Chains A and B, each alone.
Chain A
Amino acid sequence: MNRIYLDHAASTPLHPDVLQAMLPVWKETFGNPSSLHAYGREAKAVLDEARRSVARLLKASPRDLIWTSGGTESDNLAVFGVAAAWSARKEASGDMAEAGPGHIVTTSVEHHAVLHACERLEQSGYAVTYLPVDNFGRVEPEAVERALRPDTMLISVMYVNNEVGTVQPIEEIGRIARERGIPFHVDAVQALGHLPIDLERLPVDLLSLSAHKIEGPRGIGVLYCSPKLKLVPQLYGGSQERKRRAGTENVAAAVGFAAALERAVRLLPEERSRMEELRALMLAALARELGEEGFTVNGHPEHRAPHILNVSFPGVSTETMLMNLDLAGIAAASGSACTSGALELSHVLRAMRLSEPCASSAIRFSFGSVTTESDVTKTTQVLGTIIRRLRK
């Protein structure tokens, strides 16, 4: 059976060019970058070159990039690291004695790596505001501004929502954060490779990235951290990553990250329009198969990433649909991969206040560089067959 993979927002296949870039590192440049001898120095040089390359592509300074083990660690390091630094400053300074417990503004549609980190902080006494979103999953910049308190020490808003693809007003929120001098964290894991990221221009202080969403390897992420910001590390040990993240660096994966990002940035304009075409093709084919009333599209009509298409098929539950698609060799998802194991209603769709029939029948299709027009038309035909059979 020819398989069709439409779950690139969960993870992407490693690109062969990226693997080629990583192979010599395992074989030859295997030294520990902290070692002082030639093997160590070579590994360090390769690691630094990967860091410079990623920095160049993001228009950041290499010093401001921290290698992590992935998106979850980047998000956790940003949220916990800023909170711990704020508390340390409060403890050290008499002026802040009257300050509140420390407050974070985030949204109710963030990835669990941010949401659960915030919930942990609430358990330790911090205050968190989870902003609501509109029916398209978008947060209003004004709502962020209204939520700010004198003790707000972090704003964390994702760039692209991983379930519905809605793009948040990052620049507007960033400007508000700058005016008030509040650190601004952006989870850009789903934006990388799909929207241009220019850190010279974007008003953000912390930005989380992951390689395996852009045909790079698992187990490597980056946290950009503005030099103005103090971050308390979460992993302690050696002095790697300028003492912000201990642990022997995963050199091969860092090289893979740089290779994947180079490819993604170079191909972004054409891939973006190609995915827009795939998306339009799928929507037109769905309309032909099911009629305009047979499905609804979730997410923002304009402010959206090109690679995610979240669609509800009222009357066919998400689980039934995914199972039938899987039997036909088609991989799609319910929400984010990290929650699709748990068959509960997605927190994102709940926050968007979708009607029950829509919320319980939502499917996420996400495209990658290997996705073809025929994948999309074949999937639409299969969807039509499944729905006609089940709705009978």
Chain B
Amino acid sequence: MLYLDSCATTPVHPDVAAVIHEVMGTFYGNPSSIHRLGLEAEQLVTKARRVLADALGVRPGEIVFTSGGTESNNLAIKGAVNANRARGRHLITSAVEHASVYEAFRQLEDEGFHVTYLPVDETGAVRVEDVEKALTDETILVSLMHVNNEVGRIQPIEEVGRLLGARPKVLFHVDAIQSIGKLPVRLSEWGIDLLSGSAHKLEGPKGAGLLYVREGVRLTPLFSGGGQEHGYRSGTENVPLIVGMAKAIRMAMDAQPDNRRKLEQLRAGLVSRLSEMPDVQVSGSGRPEEMAPHLVHFTCPGMKSEVIVHALEQAGIFISTRSACASGESSPSRVLLAMGMDKERAASGLRVSYTASRTAGELARFADELAAVLAKLSPMRPAGAGRSVLQPEGGSAS
């Protein structure tokens, strides 16, 4: 079994699981209780908050714990917009955001806000000039993802942050769910006001996320109740998962420089193999420094991505067609269409994602299996739909 879908989710790291078990068994108090067990639980939450704040280079009071990435994105966008709606009615995001960002903006559009969905170039990148052109006096929020979860394109967050630095009225939200622990994330240097993170993408538990809220940024909470998390997020704190997330994120961030080199090598090797396959077109930018190192997206024009996924599954290899959150949808990927692909190519998109514990040999095995699957499927394609018609051997000898 070769699991190559770590952008969808990852198994919990054994050390993280051990910490979660310990907290569940011993520190079961409710942090809002004023007795010792409550206090101990509260201290654990405080410590986790400090660990994460240190890792991200921010203040502990700026970290809000949530139930996951979707809630973090919803809270950042709807919370910021609702708290600042008197200052303007215009919002900016991109056409390639995760569903939890995209759908939150659709909801705000229904409420009467004007939303600009910035286009992207053929590599999947937003242009800083487009952000600048879209800004109006009414703009109160710009929300962009750091790394696209489907193709892995890195967005020009630093440049956009610098641009927005001159406009204090505009809040800058960054969905960093796919980049924390994979790439450096410099919140204050990049002028970020709000940043979403999630635990289960980096060997932490499902059900835990965080939102960085820069001090001074006003936010209307999504959940009302006991007033936990400085009033930003009511609900009994999920102490074991919060502690587990802190451990997972710190481990990932500590290992990030080393892992990045490893991941970049894995990516370079895989991209080079894929480039040799006539049926395959690698998506995104050809410049490695513009792509996240932990995933590779490619298309096999003329083929159906589901067919390839299922054929690989027969060989014990697990990849995905797109974002897991959009897997049930039958229409071609919104992200790939925004990058200018036609429907046929967009319907053949595949994503391979991995952690640093995968090896070059494992990715080579995937490439071999893919070549075999494509060779088997190629004759079934309509003539002229791809170059492999001219190369019946599959052309993947390497």
Contacts and interface: CB of A to CB of B under 8 A. Distances in A.
Interface of A: 3, 5, 7, 10-14, 16, 19, 23, 26-27, 30-32, 34-40, 69-73, 75-76, 111-113, 116-117, 119-120, 210, 212, 217-220, 234-240, 246-253, 322, 325-326, 329-334, 336-341
Contact of B74 (A39, A72, A236, A329): A236
Nearest to A319: B34
B236 interface: yes
Contacts of B29: 7, 10-11, 331
Contacts of B241: 218-219
Contacts of A5: 37
17 contacts: A10-B29, A32-B8, A36-B321, A37-B318, A37-B319, A69-B207, A116-B224, A116-B234, A218-B239, A236-B70, A237-B100, A239-B326, A246-B325, A250-B207, A337-B30, A339-B32, A341-B32
Given A12-B28, A38-B318, A39-B5, A234 B222 contact: yes
A205 B17 CA distance: 37
A247 B12 contact: no
Contacts of B17: 23, 26-27
A39 B353 CA distance: 14
B353 to A, nearest CB: 11
Contacts of A249: 206
Interface residues of B, number: 72
A335 to B, nearest CB: 10
Nearest to A237: B100
Contacts of B392: none
A73 B206 contact: no
B227 A236 contact: no
Contacts of B259: none
Nearest to B28: A13
Q: Which of A117, A120, A252, A329 has the most CB of B within 10 A?
A: A252
Given A26-B17, A218-B237, A322-B35, A7 B320 contact: no
Contacts of A210: 236
B32 A10 contact: yes
B180 interface: no
Interface of B: 3, 5, 8-12, 17, 20-21, 24-25, 28-30, 32-38, 67-71, 73-74, 98-101, 103-104, 106-107, 198, 200, 205-208, 222-228, 234-241, 306, 309, 313, 318-321, 323-329
Contacts of B207: 69, 219-220, 250, 252-253
Which 3 pairs across A and B sit closest by C-beta, in order of nearness?
A: A338-B226, A238-B325, A237-B100
A23 B28 CA distance: 18
A248 B326 contact: no
A238 B225 contact: no
Q: Which of B101, B205, B324 has the most CB of A within 10 A?
A: B324
B103 A340 contact: no
A251 B200 CA distance: 11
B26 to A, nearest CB: 9
Given A111-B225, A112-B227, 11 more contacts: A3-B36, A3-B37, A14-B24, A36-B309, A37-B5, A72-B223, A76-B225, A120-B224, A238-B323, A250-B207, A340-B34
Nearest to B103: A236
Contacts of B223: 72-73, 76, 113
Given A325-B35, A331-B36, A35 B28 contact: no
A14 B33 contact: no
Contacts of B319: 37
Contacts of B74: 234-237, 246
Given A218-B239, A238-B70, A238-B326, A248 B37 contact: no
Contacts of A325: 35
A219 B67 contact: yes
B71 A69 contact: yes
A287 B200 CA distance: 53
A106 to B, nearest CB: 13
Contacts of B228: 338
B225 A341 contact: no
Contacts of A239: 325-326, 328-329
B238 A219 contact: yes
A210 to B, nearest CB: 8
B34 A334 contact: yes
Contacts of A217: 24, 240
A10 B33 contact: yes
Contacts of A13: 25, 28
Q: Which of A37, A73, A239, A326 has the most CB of B within 10 A?
A: A37
Nearest to B9: A32
Nearest to B209: A247
Contact of A331 (B12, B37, B104, B226): B37
Q: Which of B3, B9, B37, B103 has the most CB of A within 10 A?
A: B9
